[in-house]
Chain A
């Protein structure tokens, strides 16, 4: 808010944004504000990981990925879901949620935009897949696998459509507009006859292939092949997102999240990159939606409520917003906990709602905190910070230093950055 109350040339939301008060200066979601908190356990793991050479990372990653692929087959006794919840299907649900969380993480974690209606893009993806494959729909039919790119394109388009009016403004407006949009998509699905409201679309398509016993490999109740398909797509998305994260685009996002005005001043076209983040997030959401639609085989208007959208946000925040591994963990946990502990399944919305508040108050960086400011400098920067960190105990903590002028801008991490640059 301006201190001067005199004549003002224009008082658009943009100028409000420029003069936003000190409390809300762009601090990254990963940082803990004024007090950089040490969080030894997880922080040091991720540091150790990041300073490893690529080959060593692969050496660890490949067994992890193989294990992930074998997960529905080995059905580990303690981890497995309770009877009544099919374990391969649970794995599929976890993979879908992880994919959603990775997509939402682009929007919330990297660009710092709060999208509360992510379910809408998920719904758009599901409906695209359903309307192009289900016999109940009047549209032209295409093979299921072709609907996936179409779903991505359509949801990205919707994302851009929704982002254009709102992303020029302050982030808060985006939150409420997306929240409203999440609900409106559901109402529109009821009102528009082509979307068939409650009856919905039965027999949504699935990838081709018939098993030895004559039933399709990708049957609705057969979780394992769907899980594998989703996992492959998840890994591809992770590669793409990881590359984006380390590119000019990723740095622009992080700059926007840390301090939008500063980024704009430094020549980052903030609006453009915000729209990109929003559209890409929407695209991944649509992708996950089309996979979900295919696996469940039935799409109607009852599935896409805003509460699920808040679960998605909880997944990102729980895992650690800005960290894609954290997003996977968060997404998988949010899907897994209600299936593993059926006794608390009906309380899941309460639990994750409460978790949002508690995490924000006590550990706003989530389970796996992000350290985005070092991202641009690669493994060497992590190593440098870590060396400093062992000399100075406080350096192991404080994910990110982005507190702006009023917070600790001289933590060791920051100094290390200076040296690297």
Chain B
């Protein structure tokens, strides 16, 4: 996706414009689209935030956990007969097919996250390795998975799939809202709420918070740390798998070996913006980043500015409020 956009970049003299008129005209459509992208960022950001909360590690390979889900969606839907044009199926059949794709994506992503934790991070934890070693391993693992996919599928994005014909549902402020936007935002928010409930209410969730707060004391209190860590990775994988389905729905041509990379950085920026280690912060940060990115893109007049704006947001947040908007970490959040 990114290389193709790069090719199409304009060479003109007015490269940076502040197009307030166009922002004013497209404000609401940019808002709703931004919220849609934001929901996807938020789901991926949760994976970063949970692992960061528990292990204090930026799991660079989470973007690959996500892209594996995208490939699972692609292969499942291709197998089920989806193609570039919208399928000729009833609503029920489409929902069933999408559910199958969702399950496949969740399984693929969760499995990747599981294997990653077992093969790469666990041996390091056993040796009590320093932080830098973890980070280098994470980036190495990310790289390895990315290039395994590259060797398997090549540099060209997979054929675009249309899951269903997006239909206008209703109008708000004179802007049409489409069915896919509603679906993505609703599903993402529901998943976030369920995750939040799970972390704050369930027994496992309490374990996760305990390990995040103090791994050694948690172990002394009878929490199985290894099991909690692997569970955290798998939860992150499940959410990334769900994000993968929505991502392919929104950007059909985005299934490419390095497609997770920029999205991963944006999702991480979202997690930092909301307060890393904070589940609600991930949702808030994701939605905000989606909005900021979309406004910035329209204001500055080129879709590539989305990435630059997201990066600037990350740097600015780190400069002025490194603990993020909601601040608290996973361990300190209320029981």
Contacts and interface: CB of A to CB of B under 8 A. Distances in A.
Interface of A: 1-3, 5, 11-14, 16, 20-29, 31-35, 108, 112, 114, 116, 162, 165-166, 168-169, 171-173, 175-177, 179-181, 183-184, 186-188, 190-193, 196-199, 301, 306-307, 310, 313-314, 317, 346-347, 349-350, 352-357, 360-361, 364, 406-407
B224 to A, nearest CB: 17
Given A13-B322, A21-B56, A193-B12, 17 more contacts: A21-B215, A33-B133, A171-B135, A172-B58, A172-B131, A175-B58, A176-B314, A184-B311, A198-B9, A301-B6, A347-B147, A352-B143, A355-B140, A357-B137, A360-B136, A361-B124, A407-B128
Contact of B307 (A11, A20, A187): A187
A354 B120 CA distance: 10
Interface of B: 6-7, 9, 11-13, 15-16, 55-58, 60, 120, 123-125, 127-137, 139-144, 146-148, 150-151, 212-217, 261-262, 265, 268-269, 272, 302, 304-305, 307-308, 311, 314-316, 318-319, 322-323, 327-329, 331-332
Given A198-B7, A353-B143, A29 B58 contact: no
B140 A173 contact: no
Given A1-B329, A3-B217, A196-B11, A24 B139 contact: no
A31 B130 contact: yes
User: By CB atoms of chain B within 10 A, which of A14, A193, A196 has the most?
Assistant: A193
Given A3-B214, A406-B128, A360 B12 contact: no
B147 A353 contact: yes
Given A190-B304, A356-B137, A360-B140, A29 B120 contact: no
Contact of A11 (B55, B212, B304, B323): B323
B217 A24 contact: no
A190 B8 CA distance: 10
A193 B262 contact: no
Nearest to B57: A172
Contacts of B316: 165
Contact of A183 (B128, B137, B272, B307): B307
Nearest to A22: B216
Contacts of A186: 6
A26 B132 CA distance: 9
Given A193-B12, A198-B6, A360-B133, A350 B127 contact: no
A96 to B, nearest CB: 21
B143 A310 contact: yes
A356 B138 CA distance: 9
A177 B120 CA distance: 23
27 contacts: A2-B214, A3-B214, A11-B332, A16-B323, A23-B128, A23-B215, A29-B136, A32-B127, A34-B127, A35-B127, A169-B318, A175-B139, A176-B58, A179-B60, A180-B269, A184-B307, A184-B308, A190-B304, A191-B15, A193-B12, A197-B9, A198-B9, A307-B143, A357-B120, A360-B124, A360-B137, A407-B128
B318 A166 contact: yes
A353 B316 CA distance: 31
A166 B315 contact: yes
Nearest to A348: B147
A114 B135 contact: yes
B128 A356 contact: no
Nearest to A29: B132
A191 B305 contact: yes
Contact of A191 (B128, B217, B304, B332): B304
Contacts of A116: 139
A20 B305 contact: no
Contacts of B120: 357, 361
Contacts of B327: 11
Contacts of A406: 128
A5 B141 contact: no
A313 B311 contact: no
A172 B217 contact: no
A26 B130 CA distance: 6
Top-3 shortest CB links A-B: A356-B140, A353-B143, A27-B130
B135 A197 contact: no
B330 to A, nearest CB: 9
A206 to B, nearest CB: 26
Nearest to A173: B318
Given A184-B308, A184-B311, A198-B6, A171 B143 contact: no
Contacts of A361: 120, 123-124, 137
A177 B318 contact: yes
A157 B123 CA distance: 39
Contact of B322 (A32, A173, A197): A173
Contact of A354 (B16, B131, B144): B144
Among A23, A32, A108, chain B packs the most CB atoms within 10 A around the CB of A23
Contacts of B146: 349, 353
Contacts of A34: 127-128
A364 B56 CA distance: 20
Nearest to B266: A180
Contact of B135 (A175, A183, A196): A175
B75 to A, nearest CB: 21
Nearest to B143: A353
B307 A3 contact: no
A1 B331 contact: yes
Contacts of B132: 29, 108, 112, 114, 171
Given A5-B332, A356-B143, A176 B323 contact: no
A196 B15 CA distance: 11
B304 A187 contact: yes
B308 A188 contact: yes
A198 B57 CA distance: 36
